[in-house]
């Protein structure tokens, strides 16, 4: 248990659906992250939030829309996804955005787009 | 083009022996390196890190070695235990890369 929870753990959605992934951290951290991990590939950073403000958007398609209402919660809203978006989506948090702060990861949401 | 490469997708080691996981990088500006460990159905967890001002960092059974001239780092686990079976990720940062750049991972299997 890392103090970072993600729901749902598994999600199957059609290309026309709209769904949301939720992440919550109980560590008092100020920074939160969304990563994508496709099979056999490195983790790819998608978004970074620091004190609820988005500080990074790594050229992520607009069909992925993040939301950070407070430092403890992070959402990833999904709409009109493509089959190649099927992947493990990992949320992480850290004390700050300095890379010397350890990132704590949630267990991930396994997303399948049909 | 991957800047951080873990060329062995998997590695099998006998319990009690040394496990050596390798990681190569291409960006000479990287100055901070980390290893994370991931069990199935869990997120990665931080294991050990090393700054480029050092060439070795040790924490219990885990030692990371950094060879800057070869742009290579390795993680040594001695002695290997069944609980060490997991996927190990190498990550790096530095220079204009203000975010972690990750390798694809190596799956370590410890045989009893």
Point out the residues of chain B with pLDDT beneath 50: none
Residues of B in contact with A91 (CB under 8 A): 43
Q: What is the pLDDT of residue A103?
A: 93
pLDDT, average across residues A9-38 = 95
The rounded distance, in Å, linking the Cα atoms of B93 and A99 is 7
Q: Which residue of A has its CA nearest to B51?
A: A100
pLDDT, average across residues A62-72 = 94
Q: What is the pLDDT of residue B96?
A: 64
> How many residue contacts between A and B have a Cβ separation below 8 Å?
51
Q: Which residue of A has its CA nearest to B47?
A: A102
The rounded distance, in Å, linking the Cα atoms of B81 and B61 is 10
pLDDT, average across residues A18-41 = 95
Task: Give A44 to chain B, closest Cα distance, Å.
Answer: 8
Contact B32 A107 (CB under 8 A): no
Residues of B in contact with A48 (CB under 8 A): 99
Task: Give B74's strand partners.
Answer: B22, B65
Q: What is the pLDDT of residue A50?
A: 87
Contact B43 A105 (CB under 8 A): yes
- How sure is the predictor about A97, in pLDDT bands with cuts at 50, 70 and 90? confident
Torsion of CA A31, A37, A43, A45, to 10 degrees: -40
SS (H, E, C) chain B: CCCEECCCCEEEEECCCCEEEEEEECCCCCCEEEEEEECCCCCCEEEEEEECCCCEEEECCEEEEEECCCCEEEEEECCCCHHHCEEEEEEEEECCEEEEEECCCEEEEEEC
The rounded distance, in Å, linking the Cα atoms of B69 and A101 is 26
- Of the partner residues B43, B100, B105, the one whose CB lies closest to the CB of residue A90: B43
Query: By the 8 A CB rule, do B51 and B31 touch?
Result: yes
Instruction: Determine which of A48-52, A83-87, B48-52, B54-58 has the lowest per-residue pLDDT on average.
Output: A48-52
């Amino acid at each position: 248990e890392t103090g970072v929870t993600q729901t749902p753990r598994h999600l199957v959605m059609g290309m026309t659906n709209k769904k949301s992934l939720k992440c919550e951290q109980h560590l008092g951290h100020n920074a939160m992250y969304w990563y994508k991990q496709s099979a056999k590939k490195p983790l790819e950073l998608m978004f970074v939030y620091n004190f609820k403000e988005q500080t990074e958007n790594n050229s992520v398609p607009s069909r992925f829309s993040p939301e950070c209402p407070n430092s403890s919660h992070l959402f990833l809203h999904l709409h009109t996804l493509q089959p190649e978006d099927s992947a493990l989506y990992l949320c992480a948090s850290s004390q700050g955005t300095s890379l010397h702060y350890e990132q704590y990861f949630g267990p991930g949401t396994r997303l399948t787009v049909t | 083009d991957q800047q951080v490469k873990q060329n062995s997708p998997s590695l099998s080691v006998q319990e009690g022996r040394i496990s050596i996981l390798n990681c190569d990088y291409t960006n000479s500006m990287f100055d901070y390196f980390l290893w994370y460990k991931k069990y199935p159905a869990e997120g990665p967890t931080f294991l050990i890190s090393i700054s480029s001002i050092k060439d070795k960092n040790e924490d219990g059974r885990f030692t990371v070695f950094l060879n800057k001239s070869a742009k290579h780092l390795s993680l040594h686990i001695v002695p290997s235990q069944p609980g060490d079976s997991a996927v190990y990720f190498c990550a790096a940062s530095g220079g204009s890369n203000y975010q972690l750049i990750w390798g694809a991972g190596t799956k370590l299997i410890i045989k009893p």
